Amino acid sequence: MKQIETYRHKKILVLGLAKSGVTAAALLHKLGAFVTVNDRKPFSENPEAQGLLEQGIKVICGEHPVELLDEGFELIVKNPGIPYNNPMIEGAIERDIPVITEVELAYEISEAPFIGITGTNGKTTTTTLVYEMLNAGNKAPLIAGNIGTVASGVAQTATADNTIVIELSSFQLMGITLFNPKIAIITNIYDAHLDYHGTKEEYIKAKANITKNQTELEYLIVNADQEETLQIANSSRATIIPFSTKKVLTEGAYISDGWIWFKQEKIIQIEKIALPGVHNLENILSSMAAAKLSGVDNHAIQKVLESFTGVKHRLQYVTEIDGRKFYNDSKATNILAAANALKAFDAPVILLAGGLDRGNEFDELLPYLEHVKVLITFGQTAEKLERIGEEAGINVIQRVDNVEKAVPAAYGFSNPGDVILLSPACASWDQYKSFEVRGDIFIEAVHKLK
């Protein structure tokens, strides 16, 4: 890692712990900063804070006291999940204290270049595909961000021979200053996280930060089938590499005559690709483009695409029981992701859906319920989803308490040849700590059926 002097003797507040806050605080301490950590969880229940205190870092727990900001901090590193309307962040902005996320720290200390991936849907699959392709091509990739280890932890051990492949949320991208990926990918942009950003325009602005520091020396791989992503490309100074599932782009990635192409070179026949779902073609095109720009040969790309079947919690095949196939798509935390999952199947589907109510309705899901024969609902949005199910003419709709109870209920309504699909169309936080926890509970419940 680069031994930077940027933070030496600076007074810095790390706001919110979790994995990213712990890593950032320890790193800043190592870089010579005077670090204070503030976390809402009480100290007695906070092993992370206890560990930092043992390192000699000042820790304040149990609340976020706004008066703490008057202690002369020169910088705040905030947990990405803390919104900007939080009183601590609003107070920092009023006092002209810069606010960043730990991704910025990772960039500043890293000897390795970054490939950054953002978008509404497909980030995790695309990030994993890029990593696997670079790995198959012997490019020594490391994976970081929402999908893997905390970026500022990965960056401490990365060398110039590595490439850090990082999944980036809009929350993280709002807190960057210098971060500049060698290659950036924007998969797509739809309405999401409006409870955090307020408007779609602010959400797009956050996503656009991935390319704000790029020049013509860097690449922006962007979805050419969307007005929102093209809008970002038009304001970027990067070299633009477009991708499209609908039109031929001889300067980008595209589909033609049953093949995946990069520029004017055939890469792989679509029928040889193992990853299911039409929506995944976008992810394949963008990841393949990043791999080609990184010098990965076609054979390595083909090898990955012929064997890669998906990531955990994203349309993950779990098992087959008595002719029923079970799929875990717990990462489908919005309507579009659930719609993409439903489009992947021609067989009759028993859909398990529901979760955190963010105030939206589910009418956009209606056209994709054609093959759904049973709807099992749970969570805060159960009633809203039931209304759409009735409108779609689904004959069997049943509400249950949670995902664990949804699995045997779904099995009870199923027949051989059916698909039982967890694709909630909602975030998990009304009942579960994360979509990963929700997905793991689904998998465990499925295996209990055996």
Please, what's the b/e burial string for 222-241 (b: 16 or more CB within 10 A of its CB; e: otherwise)? Answer: bbbebebbeebbeebebbbb
CATH architecture of 316-449: Alpha-Beta Complex (3.90)
Q: Which amino acid is at 325?
A: K
pLDDT of residue 195: 59
CA-nearest of 427, 446, 280, 415 to 357 is 427
pLDDT of residue 171: 87
pLDDT of residue 19: 86
CATH architecture of 103-305: 3-Layer(aba) Sandwich (3.40)
Residues of the chain with pLDDT below 50 are: none
Q: CA-CA distance, 124 to 187, in Å (whole number)?
A: 10
Q: Which amino acid is at 67?
A: E
DSSP symbols for 231-254: HHHHT--SEEEEEESSS--TTSEE
Boundaries of every domain in the chain = 11-100, 103-305, 316-449
Contacts 24+ apart (CB under 8 A), 441-444: 441/402, 441/403, 441/404, 442/318, 442/328, 442/330, 442/352, 442/403, 442/404, 442/406, 442/407, 443/318, 443/328, 444/404
pLDDT of residue 198: 60
DSSP tag of 149: B
CATH topology of domain 11-100: Rossmann fold (3.40.50)
pLDDT of residue 406: 98
Please state, in angstroms and as integers, the Cα–Cα distance from residue 401 to each residue in 353, 386, 395, 427, following that order. Answer: 12, 14, 20, 16
Q: CA-CA distance, 44 to 50, in Å (whole number)?
A: 8
Check: CB of residue 381 under 8 Å from CB of residue 426.
yes
Check: CB of residue 381 under 8 Å from CB of residue 357.
yes
pLDDT of residue 18: 83
Both ends of the chain: CA-CA distance in Å?
Answer: 49
pLDDT of residue 373: 97
pLDDT of residue 239: 98
Check: CB of residue 178 under 8 Å from CB of residue 108.
yes
pLDDT of residue 399: 98
Q: CA-CA distance, 302 to 288, in Å (whole number)?
A: 9
pLDDT of residue 432: 96
* Helix, coil or strand: residue 333: coil
**Cβ neighbours for 227, distance < 8 A, ≥ 6 positions apart:** none
